[in-house]
A and B are shown apart, each in its own frame.
Chain A
Amino acid sequence: MSALQSRAALNDFTIKLANVNGTGSSSANGLLMKAIFRMGIPVVGKNIFPSNIQGLPTWYEIRVTEKGYHGRSGDVHLMVAMNAKTYTQDLAELSPGGVLLYDSTWPHPEFMNRSDITVIGVPFARMCNGAFKAARSRILMKNMAYIGSVVALLDLDMKVIHELVREMFAAKPKLIDLNLQALTLGFDHVKEHFDGTLDIKVEARDLTTGKIMIDGNEATALGCVFGGATFGAWYPITPSTSIMDGFTKYCRMFRVDPETQEHKYCIIQAEDELAAAGMVVGASWNGARAFTPTSGAGISLMSEFIGYAYYTEIPMVLFDVQRTGPSTGMPTRTQQCDMQICAYASHGDTCHILLFPSQPQECFEMAAQALDLAERFQTPVFVLSDLDIGMNDWMVDALSWDDSYQPDRGKVLSKTDLEKMDKFHRYLDVDGDYIPYRTLPGTDPKGAYFTRGSGHNKWGSYTEEGQEYKELVDRLRNKWASAADKVPAPVLKASKGSSNYAILSVGSCDGAVIEACDRLEAQGVHLDYMRVRGFPFCQQVEDFIDAHDTVFVIEQNRDAQLLNLLLVETNVAREKLVPILHYSGEPLDYRFVFQALHEALALRKTA
């Protein structure tokens, strides 16, 4: 056992369930996690799934964390091995002292070769084949049977599980009894055949009041609905698809006139990402709050319109749920690898506004903020989430909405405004804040102007004059820079002691970084931590780096993209920034961060 591995403790352990995808395991696994959550104990759920519909290995990880950390632990204390193809790998991953639960219909005595673990075999397939007739049921019910065994092993509250089963199958009551029967099969078998005690135990707490379990894409969709978006165009792409699924669901819930059945929204599934981006440009240009959800490959395709919207000053909101690249990459694995392309997407001199949520609650808030910022600054705004945030269930504070919120529709001239004006010029910086006024088609003949992606001057006319061109693009740069104080401010977590060392990180790294900091702190190592939430960077970011000798920049990509953005866009000293990079595609765990910091600090102290 490495010094960093930790044994399971009461309400502090990790279960990993190894399954074959397309067999219905994920709803069973979700149910297990929800049950622990309902027993009042914080949980972290990670679905590590293939880019496939049926037949390939898939894993679900449930971390039970009384302390309420958001990241993975890096340990596995209970492995539910239901996929014979990954037995070797799953066995190896199990932490010392851990428990292996597997389907002993086909016995594997070699599992006993590891003396540091407890192996529990339950003949799930045989039991289910005996109990259920239909072939599909035999496969599906195996899931519920292993949940039953886990309930017995962990001492979970069966009442909570039953309640969840009833909720889950409320629409198909016939399935309730089948599922309860399967649960009992697994539960009883463990109770009859196993009488040892395990480190892994769950005891009810009251730590999840006011919390919800939600994934970032669903929260983003809700943010778009509450933020007043009326138009969404998209092209299906993992891992962003469920944003539009959610937006559609909530629009149907809240935006359909009960009498006429007419919609107060429009959703278009485009022919590709190029078209999706173009539709958003068209709708925004014409005054609708519009967005598109996508992932990295989509950003590549949308870049043409992103540059167009930047130069013509048309609002545009893009949700990039990042996955591993380059190219198709690993579509179902997470990364933070689109920060650089989004910061400067499209040819020519372009720079964009980026927001970085770290969990679903921030996805909800930042969705509405992005819609405001895009219309305020008349430019593309990106919300960079990732697969981990977007598709995994996170325990966060319940979402709340302030009904006094009014969307910031930006500087749009009304008919009355136009009537008072002598002449309207689209790109004139009237207020000295680098943001010109715009008009919507149909408002007034005086408001008419011609939007063009070719060279234009501040009067809104075509130009090939160098001075006129420069004047306009200089204003665009200033406009972008002025957004630094309007994007969400960084979050600072100061260490208890004074420190010359600090961490700067972003997005979904947060949970693992906070936990690593806490554990280092416990060992007397103090690190200040800043999480950036917006780009362009505000002055605080530069000040934070200036105030420390060494800043570890922790991010999930190979090329240190955040670090590079800091070097390009601030005046910080290059030698201060030390990259810590995680890019395997699996969500970050605290152990990785802890170990990397530990080693880096040890090196620095000995040097």
Chain B
Amino acid sequence: MSSFAKPLIRRKDAPTNDLGLIRADYDGAMSTLCAGCGHDSVTAGLTRAFFELSIAPHKAVKVSGIGCSSKTTAYFLGQSHGINTVHGRMPAVATGAVAANSALSYVGVSGDGDSLSIGLGQFVHAMRRNVNMLYMLENNGVYGLTKGQFSAAADFGASSKKGEINEQPPLDPVSLALSVGATFVARAFSGDKDQLVSLIKAGLKHKGFALIDVISPCVSFNDHKGSTKSYAHAYKYYHPAIHADYVPVGKEITAAYQAGELLPVEMHDGGTLQLRKLQNGYDPRDRARAMAKVFETKDSDETVTGLLYIDETQKDMHALNRMEARPLNEIPYAELNPGADKLEALQKKFR
């Protein structure tokens, strides 16, 4: 068995969200990943974000491909529909699902193998279409389920557990996303939960495709000396540039910041995204600057994290297709059938 039911423990004093649900209501099955796996932290982050945003579990949809990361959709939101698709093809299934019903919250979970090798084409095209979904790319630079082959995200010069050196340049999801016009591009580290949760919340509220590339170390096959995706390496070079806090409609902004430090971005649901610069001169609404920053830090071994780019003004897939707000699956047939008279009339041109 690859998953175990997790017992639901309700404590009397457990905090509830706006729906009266507790954190445990957002749990899924027990994880079967290795102890210490970065992915489990991401799972916990997702659980917390959905809970804190008070999204009803059955109004969320989980989509994934194949690989360790993709297994995790079973480990959170047990009361949501989940679909574990085929390798590298999650974006297509997500695209179809989102098209059929835009009224739900969609989270896709993938890995660097699933997204950057076998699924590179679909990953890129989902960003181009600006499908309204949160896309978690749990990036550990290695194929875990098949025991330690380099992935396309493995850094140049990184060594495998067996000592092999990677001599090919990596595919970087963040610069790739920026180059194809993604409208929400973030990088996070599974070891910084606060940053991760705030990015997940912002990504879920973003109208369009939200990519979070999460450095999520593989304890079994890529946590050794010489790896650039290990915990030690990530902690050493981890570098937050922008902090993003999602503030729902009607909630007050409590944290105090110095003037000029805050960049408020209005979200489609009426909430606000409070972006806090941790570095001078960085504006995540400037794509060229974001791209430059990613390249500069790459050269200096730094892993720049945070919400690196956001554009709330672009049309998402629904708007691009001029679809009505009502989900396709709720339009009654009476509205879809043009009627026998129309069929007869249109056939004049066939005579």
Is A233 a contact of B96 with CB atoms below 8 Å?
Answer: yes
- Which residues of A lie under 8 Å from residue B79 when comparing CB positions? 445, 448
| Binding-face segment, A57-65, A102-110, A255-263, A502-510 | A255-263
Given A263-B324, A281-B85: A442 in contact with B103 (beta carbons within 8 A): yes
Closest Cβ neighbor of B80 among chain A residues: A448
Contact A280 B96 (CB under 8 A): yes
Q: Which of A69-77, A268-276, A553-561 contacts B (4 or more CB under 8 A)?
A: A268-276
Closest B residue by C-beta to A229: B336
Known contacts A225-B338, A266-B99, A400-B340; A406 and B85 CB within 8 A of each other: no
Q: Inside 8 A of A271's CB, which chain B residues have their CB? A: 121-122, 125
Q: Pick from B165-173, B246-254, B300-308, B341-349 the stretch touching chain A.
A: B341-349
Across the two chains, which residue of chain B brings its CB closest to A270?
Answer: B92
Residues of A contacting B91 with CB < 8 Å? 275, 278
CA A441 to CA B96, docked complex, whole Å: 13
List B contacts of A228 (CB < 8 A). 333, 336-337
Q: Does A427 lie at the interface of the complex (its beta carbon under 8 Å from any beta carbon of B)?
A: no
Residues on the B chain within 8 Å of A445, using CB: 56-58, 79
> Closest residue to A212 on the B side, CB-wise?
B350
**In the complex the two chains form, is B101's CB within 8 Å of A286's CB?**
yes
Task: Name the one of A211, A230, A257, A308 contacting B328, with C-beta atoms under 8 angstroms.
Answer: A230
**Within the complex, which residue of A260, A281, A400, A440 is in contact with B93, where a contact is CB–CB below 8 Å?**
A281
Contact B96 A278, beta carbon cutoff 8 Å: yes
B residues 297-351 near A (Cβ < 8 Å) are: 321-325, 327-329, 331, 333, 335-340, 342-344, 346-347, 350-351
Question: In the complex, are the beta carbons of A231 and B74 less than 8 A apart?
Answer: no
For A283, what are the chain B residues with a Cβ–Cβ distance below 8 Å? 96-97, 99-100, 328
Q: Which of A261, A284, A399 contacts B322 (CB 8 A)?
A: A261
Docked CA distance A400–B336 (Å): 16
User: Do B347 and A263 have beta carbons less than 8 Å apart?
Assistant: no
Q: Is residue A443 contacting chain B, with contact meaning CB distance below 8 A?
A: yes
B3 at the interface (CB under 8 A from A): yes
Contact with B along A270-308 (1 / 0, CB 8 A): 111011111111111111101000000000000011001
Q: Assess whether B186 is interfacial by the CB under 8 Å rule.
A: no
Cα A24 to Cα B99 in complex, Å, equals 39
Cross-chain contact A453 with B99 (CB below 8 angstroms): no
Q: Do A399 and B85 have beta carbons less than 8 Å apart?
A: no
Query: Which residues of chain B have C-beta atoms less than 8 A from A367's C-beta?
Result: none
A231 contact set on B, CB distance < 8 A: 96, 99-100, 328
Contact at A308–B343, with CB atoms within 8 Å?
A: no
Interface size on A, residues (CB 8 A): 77
- Complex Cα spacing A38 to B2, Å: 67
- Kindly identify which residue among B74, B78, B347 contacts A398, using a CB–CB cutoff of 8 Å: B347
Q: Which of A195-249 contact B (CB under 8 A)?
A: 211-214, 222, 225-226, 228, 230-231, 233
Q: Could you tell me which residues of chain A, from 396 to 448, have a CB within 8 Å of some CB in chain B?
A: 398-403, 405-407, 439-445, 447-448
Any A CB within 8 A of the CB of B82: yes
Question: Mask for B12-56, Cβ within 8 A of A = 1, else 0?
Answer: 000000000000000000000000000000000000000000001
Query: When the two chains form their complex, are residues A282 and B335 in contact, meaning their CB atoms are under 8 A apart?
Result: no
Closest approach, in angstroms, between the C-beta of A214 and any C-beta of chain B?
Answer: 5
Is B337 in contact with A226, judged by CB distance below 8 angstroms? Answer: yes
Judging by beta carbons under 8 Å apart, are B104 and A442 in contact?
A: yes
| Chain A neighbourhood of B337, CB < 8 A | 226, 228, 401, 403, 405
Q: Which of B95, B101, B335 contacts A287 (CB 8 A)?
A: B101
Structural contact, B336 and A230, CB atoms closer than 8 A: yes
- Which B residues touch A454, using CB under 8 A? 2, 84
Q: How far is the CB of B284 from chain A (nearest CB, A)?
A: 28
In the bound complex, CA of A278 to CA of B122 (Å): 10
**CB of A452 within 8 Å of the partner chain:** yes
Q: Does A267 contact B (CB under 8 A)?
A: yes
Say whether, besides A275-B122, A281-B85, A453-B86, A400 and B343 are in contact (CB < 8 Å).
Answer: yes
Query: Quick one: which of B63, B93, B331 has the most chain A CB within 10 A?
Result: B93
Is B343 in contact with A449, judged by CB distance below 8 angstroms? no
Are B86 and A304 closer than 8 Å at their CB atoms?
Answer: yes
Q: Is B94 an interface residue (CB 8 A)?
A: yes
When A225-B338, A264-B328, A450-B84 are in contact, do A398 and B104 touch as well, CB less than 8 Å?
Answer: no
Q: Bound complex: CA of A270 vs CA of B83, how far in Å? A: 20
**Given known contacts A38-B351, A265-B328, A288-B99, is B86 in contact with A226 (CB within 8 Å)?**
no
CA of A264 to CA of B335 in the docked complex: distance in angstroms? 9
- Cα distance, A286 to B329, chains bound together (Å): 7
A462 to B3, Cβ gap below 8 A?
A: yes
Contacting B96 at CB < 8 Å: which of A211, A225, A286? A286
Beyond A212-B351, A255-B336, is A286–B97 a contact (Cβ under 8 Å)?
yes
CB distance A451 to B343 under 8 Å?
no
Q: Which residue of B lies closest to A443 (CB)?
A: B58
Does chain A have a CB within 8 A of B256? no
CB atoms of A279 and B103 under 8 A apart = no
B321, A263: Cβ atoms closer than 8 Å: yes
Is A464 on the interface with B (CB-CB < 8 A)? yes
A93 to B312, CA, bound (A): 65
Q: Which residues of B contact A169 (CB under 8 A)?
A: none
Shortest beta-carbon distance, B124 to chain A, in Å? Answer: 8
The bracket for how many chain B residues form the interface is 35 or more
CB of B99 within 8 A of CB of A268, answer yes
The number of residue pairs between A and B whose CB atoms lie closer than 8 Å in the complex comes to 229
Against A, the Cβ 8 Å flags (1 = close, 0 = not) of B100-117 are: 110110000000000000
Q: B97, B322, B342: which contacts A285 (Cβ < 8 A)?
A: B97
Task: Point out the residues of chain B lying under 8 angstroms from A194, CB to CB.
Answer: none
Distance (Å) between the CB of A369 and the closest chain B CB? 15
| B-contact bits for A454-476, CB 8 A (1 contact / 0 none) | 10000001111000000000000
The minimal Cβ–Cβ distance linking A225 to chain B, given in whole angstroms, is 7
Using A282-B95, A290-B96, A442-B103 as known contacts, say yes or no to A449 and B323 having CB atoms under 8 A apart.
Answer: no
Alpha-carbon gap, A283 to B2, bound state (A)? 27
- Closest Cβ of chain B: how far from A380's Cβ, in Å? 14
B1 at the interface (CB under 8 A from A): yes
Cα-based distance from A228 to B323 in the complex (angstroms): 16
Please state if B344 and A398 are interface contacts (CB–CB under 8 Å).
yes
Closest to B99 in A: A266
Cross-chain contact A406 with B333 (CB below 8 angstroms): yes
Q: Once the chains are docked, how many angstroms separate the CA of A447 from the CA of B59?
A: 11
Chain A min CB distance to B328 (Å): 4
Q: Are A266 and B81 in contact (CB under 8 A)?
A: no
Decide yes or no: A401 and B340 within 8 Å by CB, A264-B328, A281-B85, A450-B84 being known contacts. Answer: yes
Complex Cα distance A279/B98, Å?
9
> Chain B contacts of A462 at CB under 8 A?
1-3, 74
Q: From the candidates B78, B93, B323, B338, name the one contacting A278 in the complex (CB within 8 A).
A: B93
Please determine whether A282 and B96 come into contact, CB atoms closer than 8 angstroms.
Answer: yes
Shortest Cβ distance from A407 into B: residue: B333
Beta-carbon nearest neighbor of A210 in chain B = B351
- Bound Cα distance A331, B101 (Å): 36
Bound form: Cα–Cα A214–B348 in Å: 11
Residue from B79, B327, B329, B347 whose CB has the most chain A CB atoms within 10 Å:
B329
- Given A230-B328, A305-B86, CB of A403 within 8 Å of CB of B339: yes
Tell me how far the C-beta of A194 lies from the nearest C-beta in chain B, rounded to whole angstroms: 32
B275 interface residue (CB < 8 Å to A): no
Q: Which residues of B contact A305 (CB under 8 A)?
A: 86, 89
- C-alpha gap A265/B337 in the complex (Å): 12
A271 vs B89: C-alpha distance in the bound complex, in angstroms?
12
Residues of A within 8 A of B82 (CB): 448-451
Please, how many angstroms separate the alpha-carbon atoms of A407 and B329 in the complex?
13
**Contact A278–B89 (Cβ < 8 Å):** yes
B contact residues around A278 at 8 Å (CB): 85-86, 89, 91-93, 95-96, 122
11 contacts between A and B (CB under 8 A): A212-B351, A226-B338, A255-B336, A265-B328, A283-B96, A287-B100, A290-B96, A441-B80, A452-B84, A454-B2, A462-B3
What are the nearest 7 A-B pairs in CB distance? Answer: A282-B96, A278-B92, A287-B329, A279-B96, A288-B100, A283-B96, A212-B350
Further contacts, 7 of them, CB under 8 A, given A285-B93, A286-B101, A442-B58:
A225-B338, A230-B329, A278-B91, A283-B99, A407-B333, A452-B84, A462-B3
